[in-house]
Chains A and B, each alone.
Chain A
Amino acid sequence: MQNNIKFLSGNEACAEGAFYAGALFYAGYPITPSSEIAQIASERLPAIGGTYVQMEDEIASMAAIIGASCCGVKSFTATSGPGFSLMQENLGVAVMGEVPCVVINVQRSGPSTGLATNPAQADIMQARWGTHGDHSMIALTPSSVQECYEMTIRAFDLSEKYRCPVLVLTDKTVAQMREKVVLYEPGERKLAERKKPSGPAEEYLPYRADDDGIPPMAAFGDKRLLRVTSSTHNEQGFTNDDPGNAYTLIRRLYDKIEDNVDDIAVFKTYLMDDADTAFIAFGITARAALNAVYKLREEGHKVGLIDMSTMWPFPDRKLKEAVSGCRALLVPEMNLGQLVREVNRICCDKEVYSYTKSDGKNIFPAEIIKAWRESL
């Protein structure tokens, strides 16, 4: 009997993933349906020499994980709808200041307090555009408990590699359902660590990027003085309002992610080889869609599924390629049509159908099959 096989909830798996990735700091404010992550962090982190701090709100939580990460400590938080809204302010600091950190947002029904606390998938545009100003964003969308585990580890890897915040967007159903999970053995999976600077301490410039667009990051307490700033800045980390500098910086922050979309954005395909219709879904809805695909295949219909494991940056080219053989696309999602906008944008030569649901209930396979029959 292997002891690395567990029966976990999505929230538990996210926490396990964070610990495996080496996270030693959590600051947060409890909110349903994400609170189990805070509870586990408060219990487990002190046992491994890490720190849990319950902050006064989600603004402070986001600030605290940024502060901790600047000390070279992998840091994360978890929240849901209203808390995610409060985090948008300092999420921007992590973008502008290039501070690695991971935010798990367990999506629940909104707007505002909404149907507390029923599932939804309506934060994907907020995840992309929620903090103000031009920026890119990395957001991963697990559809199983196993993926909650693996994608949380990957979120830390990406945040360290690209020096940016990374979002894990689960939903209430994925977060609270239980499934079998296979955990990695210690040392089994390679982990990414942020690039450290080299050279004389006095010559270190905190925002001088290498050719890959990513500046090596010192830590507070190092000989090399680290300056982290929310303001538009020069390579030294001082406020700078020169238009050329501002554009170069914004462009670099954006391009370091968008230019690497093929490295960052992955999705899973099911029975797509001969499919004339593709379902494109994410999170718990991708599970329902897969069930619908199997049922329709039994009837002889050539249907496949694309499970959007990465929502942002959006994999324009790869997705277009994956559906090149399809005539029609159906996008089921638990919101009023957010993912379908992106699908329409890049697949406008296809028949694109949308099935939306925004009543706090999950989408069931039979609904997707019905939507497919009515669309085609």
Chain B
Amino acid sequence: MTVAVSDYLREDKLPHLWCGGCSHGVVVGAVARALAALEIAPDQTVVTTGIGCFGKADDYIATHALHGTHGRALPFASGVKAAAPHLTVLALMGDGDAATIGGNHLIHAARRNLDITAIVSNNNNYGMTGGQCSATTPAGKRTSTSRYGSPEPDFDLCDLVIGSGGGFVARTTHYHVRAMEKLIAEAISYRGFSFVEVVACCPTYYGRYNREGDAASMVKLIKDRALSKDKYFKLAPDEREDFFPTGKLHVEEKADFTTRYLEVQKKAGGIKAESKEGSR
């Protein structure tokens, strides 16, 4: 099978609706290139999304799609993967979807270990609805609902997922496009719950509220704060404040849900229903 990157994109839907300088289009491009590199057929791939700017990502991807409610991309994906384990399932979420309203689903998806790839484009605020704060808005940062600076600390998403049992956890930024593409491909290939956080920017709201300049200067800010995992952890703890680690932060082989559930089915005396694979 030969596939082109364009096979995964709905080019007739372009230009996309995201603002100039937004990271989300970069992430969609990386997802398409990763799928093409792995030669996973578009009709064997399901993308689930929730609500928000990045919740529109499925509009541009030419696979099967389930565009659901805010924060629920992962439980929709879980139903798909549990019912049809032969499909490749990706949940594309913003920080509101993944970490805020959907935080409970995130930790349980990591624990349950269905073979789903969760990709979060984290721009630290709700872009679509006017730049309100989210669970990844850092303490003290301004948004349209934290005009004096947010009084709440933010989640470290990768630590949260590692702590919840996620077996493949990686972080990159929208500046590191090649690394992003490679990490997404590795995450998709990993058997079990995989998680890729893309540190992203929203110049329209978060950047403006926090005087971080235009898209180019926000990209530079993110790039300067991103250190490879090795460099980051060589720093003394008190030197780490201005930086964050990138790369594969945690990889651990473990039996995924489908493998474990096959054992359950064997014990119960059942076999896989043919209807799941057949009648296509």
> Are A220 and B273 neighbours in the complex by a CB distance under 8 Å?
no
Q: Which A residues from 45 to 60 make CB contacts under 8 A with B?
A: 45-51, 53, 55-57, 59-60
Query: Which of B30-38, B40-48, B174-182, B224-232 lies on the face that meets chain A?
Result: B40-48
CA distance A223 to B270 in the complex (A): 29
Does A221 lie within 8 Å of B280, measured CB to CB? yes
- Beta-carbon contact of A50 and B280 below 8 Å: no
Chain B residues within an 8 Å CB radius of A89: 69, 72
Chain A residues lying within 8 Å of B77, measured Cβ to Cβ, are 67
Stretch at the interface among B83-91, B196-204, B236-244: B83-91
Decide yes or no: A25 and B104 within 8 Å by CB, A66-B68, A93-B69 being known contacts.
Answer: no
Chain A neighbourhood of B48, CB < 8 A: 67
**Majority secondary structure, B binding face:** helix
> Nearest 4 A-B pairs (CB), nearest first?
A67-B79, A64-B79, A49-B273, A68-B83
Whether A284 is near chain B, meaning CB under 8 Å from some CB there, is no
Tell which of B58-66, B145-153, B155-163, B248-256 binds the partner: B58-66
A63 touches B43 (CB 8 A): no
Give A11-44 as 1s and 0s: 1 = Cβ < 8 Å from B's Cβ atoms: 0000000000000110100000000000000011
Report 15 cross-chain contacts, Cβ distance below 8 Å, ordered by A residue.
Answer: A46-B268, A53-B78, A56-B75, A64-B82, A67-B48, A67-B66, A67-B77, A70-B66, A71-B83, A220-B84, A220-B87, A221-B44, A221-B64, A221-B280, A225-B42
Judge whether B276 is part of the interface by a CB distance below 8 angstroms.
Answer: yes
Q: How far is the CA of A164 from the CA of B272 in the complex (A)?
A: 27
Q: Apart from A48-B270, A67-B78, list 14 A-B contacts with CB within 8 A.
A: A25-B79, A48-B273, A49-B265, A55-B75, A56-B105, A59-B72, A63-B68, A65-B79, A66-B68, A67-B77, A68-B80, A90-B69, A221-B43, A221-B87
A100 within 8 A of B: no
Contact: A60 with B72, CB < 8 Å? yes
Task: Select from chain A the residue with minimum beta-carbon distance to B272.
Answer: A49
When the two chains form their complex, are residues B75 and A67 in contact, meaning their CB atoms are under 8 A apart?
yes
For the complex, what is the distance from the CA of A73 to the CA of B270, rounded to whole Å?
Answer: 17
- In the docked arrangement, what's the CA distance between A171 and B173, Å? 53
Chain A interface helix/strand/loop/mixed: mixed
Q: A49-B271, A68-B80, A222-B43 are in contact. Are A63 and B72 (CB under 8 A)?
A: yes
B264 x A46 contact (CB < 8 A): yes
Of A113-121, A142-150, A180-188, A226-234, which stretch is located at the interface? A226-234
| A227 B105 Cβ-Cβ under 8 A | no
Chain A CB within 8 A of B269 CB: yes
In the complex, whether A310 has a CB less than 8 A from a CB of chain B is no
Kindly state whether residue A238 has any CB partner on chain B within 8 Å.
yes
Whether B79 lies near A75 (C-beta < 8 A) is: yes
- Identify which of A50, A64, A220 contacts B46 (C-beta below 8 A): A220
Residue from A44, A67, A226 having most chain B Cβ neighbours under 10 A: A67
Q: How far is the CA of A221 from the CA of B105 in the complex (A)?
A: 24
Chain A residues, Cβ within 8 Å of B261: 46, 51
Contact B79 A230 (CB under 8 A): no
Give the docked Cα–Cα distance between A56 and B261 (Å).
Answer: 18
Q: Is the CB of A55 within 8 A of B78?
A: yes
Expressed in whole angstroms, the minimum distance between the Cβ of A8 and any Cβ of chain B is: 20
A64 touches B275 (CB 8 A): no
- How many A residues touch B, CB cutoff 8 Å? 52
By the criterion CB–CB under 8 Å, are B276 and A73 in contact? Answer: yes
The answer, yes or no, to whether B24 is at the interface (CB within 8 Å) is: no
In the complex, what residues of B have CB within 8 A of residue A66's CB?
Answer: 66, 68, 76, 79
Task: Establish whether residues A229 and B67, one from each chain, have CB atoms under 8 Å apart when the complex forms.
Answer: yes
Asked if B68 and A71 make an inter-chain contact with CB atoms under 8 angstroms apart, the answer reads no
**A375 an interface residue at 8 Å Cβ cutoff?**
no
B276 proximity list for chain A (CB < 8 A): 24, 49, 71, 73
Q: Quick check: A230 and B87 within 8 Å, CB to CB?
A: no
List B contacts of A223 (CB < 8 A): 43, 280
Contacts of B58 in A (CB 8 A): 227
Q: Which residues of A contact B66 (CB under 8 A)?
A: 66-67, 70, 97, 220, 227-229
A346–B3 alpha-carbon span in the complex (Å): 61
Point out residues on A near B: beta carbons under 8 Å: 24-25, 27, 43-51, 53, 55-57, 59-61, 63-73, 75, 89-90, 92-93, 97, 219-231, 237-239
Assuming the contacts A222-B43, A227-B67, asked whether A53 and B280 have C-beta atoms less than 8 A apart, the reply is no
A225 touches B78 (CB 8 A): no
B2 on interface, CB distance cutoff 8 Å:
no
Q: Contact at B79–A27, with CB atoms within 8 Å?
A: yes
CB distance from B270 to the nearest CB of A (A): 4
Give the residue of A49, A221, A239 whose beta carbon is less than 8 angstroms from that of B59.
A239
Q: With A49-B271, A89-B69, A225-B43 in contact, do A75 and B78 touch (Cβ < 8 Å)? A: no
- Chain B residues lying within 8 Å of A238, measured Cβ to Cβ, are 13, 59
Q: Which residue of B lies closest to A49 (CB)?
A: B273
Q: Across the interface, which residues of B come within 8 angstroms of A61, CB to CB? A: 75
**Contact in complex: A51, B64 (CB < 8 Å):** no
Contacts of A69 in B (CB 8 A): 79, 83
Q: How far is the CB of A194 from chain B (nearest CB, A)?
A: 12
Is there contact, CB below 8 Å, between A90 and B273? no
Q: Which residues on B sit within 8 Å (CB–CB) of A45?
A: 270
Q: Is B141 an interface residue (CB 8 A)?
A: no
Chain B residues with Cβ below 8 Å from A60 are 72, 74-75, 78, 104-105, 108
Q: Residues of B contacting A55 with CB < 8 Å?
A: 75, 78, 108
Contact (Cβ within 8 A) A24 B273: yes
Task: Please judge, given known A-B contacts A25-B82, A63-B76, A68-B79, whether A56 and B273 are in contact too, CB under 8 Å.
Answer: no
* A56 lies within 8 A of B83 (CB): no
Closest to B59 in A: A238
Contacts of A50 in B (CB 8 A): 270, 273
Residues of B within 8 A of A221 (CB): 43-44, 64, 84, 86-87, 280
- Say whether B279 faces chain A, with CB atoms less than 8 Å apart: yes
